[in-house]
């Protein structure tokens, strides 16, 4: 089925929804098949312990997803204690849930400018003890999930917000702008010879200078022999993103020949600005479709995983920014929305329109 037909199907689902709920009520849910069964690559979702304790969340996630990323409880903010000790209880619970649900584990994040826990800050200025603690932390984290973790965001958001150079951070100031990144990848590789090691960043779709600086950083790391073996495109986009922009971004990242992780996809309605809700929801569905199509067009060895950053709208981090945002595939009750239809169509997992239009139009 070509892209236009897929988009037509999605548009029909939305149009039907709009007809049946002309009032600005919740979107009419669509029906989709199990996404994980339809995808020839891992489909990921992020999770917190509070999510896996919810049987409805667990059932829906295990139905549609084959990879799980701890949303925050495997990060320094939770793991590293003020005395420098570590606590892994919640990360372990999330890893155990993934195993039980036959989901791959993807881990985020080892080194991130946004997190500088007290345990590290208090270390003395001497590079030796700070460096030793840095290595010890990475070794402990990566070693603990060796054999289960398919990959790690080793360095997260290294490029400056505006793309002019790299971010400042505790890690850069103590261990060197480039060296702290080289060191993180090398220590992670020593702790797990098999995990795919990612450089992960966001707004690569919307800030050309940022994408360019990211690509030059990748080149510098690779040329220095640093074991960067995957590239993560977080993909926190909004419904105003022009068609084709996302595709061009993924194509640009794919030029290195490394595995690509669409690592944190959500499509904000609110961040898109003013617009008729239904029209924004149609754009949102179209962007989910475009993201999936762009990913599916990659060579199979480069299709590491396609991860959405939350299961139900109510689970999204964006709710803290604006409670009316509905950026994800499933509504607050866990019902698939048009956004899910957008993602399902390229996978051939979009079901209801065939029943609406008879078998001759069955989504393939």
Q: Residue 24 and residue 10: Cα distance in Å, rounded? A: 19
Is residue 231 helix, strand or coil? strand
Footprint (CB under 6 A) of ligand G3I, residues 235-264: 264
Footprint (CB under 6 A) of ligand G3I, residues 190-209: 202
Please tell me whether the peptide bond between 109 and the residue prior to it is cis, using omega within 30 degrees of 0: yes
Q: Is 75 in the site for ligand G3I (CB under 6 A)?
A: yes
Which is closer to ligand G3I, CB of 41 or CB of 317? 317
Residue 48 CB, nearest distance to ligand G3I (Å)? 6
Which is closer to ligand G3I, CB of 264 or CB of 282? 264
Q: Is 229 in the site for ligand G3I (CB under 6 A)?
A: no
Which residue of this chain has its Cβ atom nearest to ligand G3I in the complex?
A: 317
Catalytic (active-site) positions? 157, 264
Footprint (CB under 6 A) of ligand G3I, residues 279-338: 317
Which is closer to ligand G3I, CB of 108 or CB of 213? 108
Letter string b/e over residues 95-122, b meaning 16 or more CB atoms within 10 A of that residue's CB:
bebbeebebbbbbbbbbbbebbbebbee
Residue 59 CB, nearest distance to ligand G3I (Å)? 21
User: Could you say which of 70, 71, 231, 267 contacts ligand G3I (CB under 6 A)?
Assistant: 71
Task: Spell out the residues 6+ positions from residue 303 whose beta carbon is closer than 8 angstroms to its own.
Answer: 40, 41, 259, 260, 295, 296
Residue 109 CB, nearest distance to ligand G3I (Å)? 6
Residue 327 CB, nearest distance to ligand G3I (Å)? 11
Contact assessment for residue 363 and residue 353, using Cβ atoms and an 8 Å cutoff: yes
Nearest to 76 by CA among 104, 50, 53, 107: 107
Which stretch, 16-24, 69-77, 181-189, 332-340, contacts ligand G3I (CB under 6 A)? Answer: 69-77
Which is closer to ligand G3I, CB of 7 or CB of 90? 90
Q: Is 234 in the site for ligand G3I (CB under 6 A)?
A: yes
**E strand map for the chain:** 43-47, 67-70, 104-107, 111-112, 149-156, 196-201, 230-233, 236-238, 260-268, 303-308
Q: Is 77 in the site for ligand G3I (CB under 6 A)?
A: yes
Q: Residue 220 and residue 46: Cα distance in Å, rounded? A: 30
Q: Is 72 in the site for ligand G3I (CB under 6 A)?
A: yes
Contact footprint for ligand G3I (CB under 6 A): 48, 71-72, 75, 77, 108, 202, 234, 264, 317
């Amino acid at each position: 089925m070509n892209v236009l037909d897929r988009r037509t199907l999605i548009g029909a689902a939305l149009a039907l929804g709009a007809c049946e709920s002309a009032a600005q009520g919740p979107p009419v849910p669509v029906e989709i098949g199990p996404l994980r069964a339809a995808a020839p690559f891992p489909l990921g979702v992020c999770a917190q312990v509070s999510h896996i304790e919810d049987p409805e969340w667990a059932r829906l996630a295990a139905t549609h997803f084959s990879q799980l990323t701890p949303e925050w409880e495997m990060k320094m903010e939770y793991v590293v204690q003020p005395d420098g000790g570590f606590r892994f209880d919640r990360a372990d619970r999330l890893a155990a849930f993934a195993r039980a649900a036959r989901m791959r584990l993807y881990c985020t994040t080892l080194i991130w400018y946004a997190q500088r826990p007290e345990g590290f800050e208090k270390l003395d200025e001497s590079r030796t003890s700070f460096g030793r603690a840095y290595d010890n932390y990475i070794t402990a984290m990566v070693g603990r999930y060796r054999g289960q973790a398919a990959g790690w965001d080793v360095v997260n958001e290294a490029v400056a917000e505006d793309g002019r150079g790299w971010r400042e951070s505790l890690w850069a100031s103590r261990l060197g702008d480039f060296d702290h990144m080289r060191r993180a990848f090398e220590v992670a590789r020593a702790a797990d010879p098999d995990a795919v090691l990612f450089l992960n960043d966001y707004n690569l779709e919307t800030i050309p200078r940022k994408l360019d600086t990211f690509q030059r950083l990748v080149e510098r790391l690779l040329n220095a022999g640093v074991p960067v073996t995957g590239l993560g495109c977080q993909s926190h986009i909004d419904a105003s993103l022009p068609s084709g922009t996302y595709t061009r971004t993924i194509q640009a990242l794919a030029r290195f020949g490394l595995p690509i992780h669409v690592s944190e996809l959500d499509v904000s309605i609110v961040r898109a600005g003013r617009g008729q809700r239904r029209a924004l929801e149609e754009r949102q569905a179209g962007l989910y479709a475009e993201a999936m199509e762009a990913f599916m067009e990659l060579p199979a060895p480069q299709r590491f995983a396609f991860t959405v950053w939350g299961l139900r709208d109510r689970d999204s981090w964006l709710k803290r920014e604006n409670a009316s945002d509905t950026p994800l595939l499933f509504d607050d009750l866990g019902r698939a929305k048009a956004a899910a239809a957008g993602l399902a169509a390229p996978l051939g997992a979009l079901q209801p329109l065939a029943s609406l239009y008879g078998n001759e139009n069955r989504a393939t």
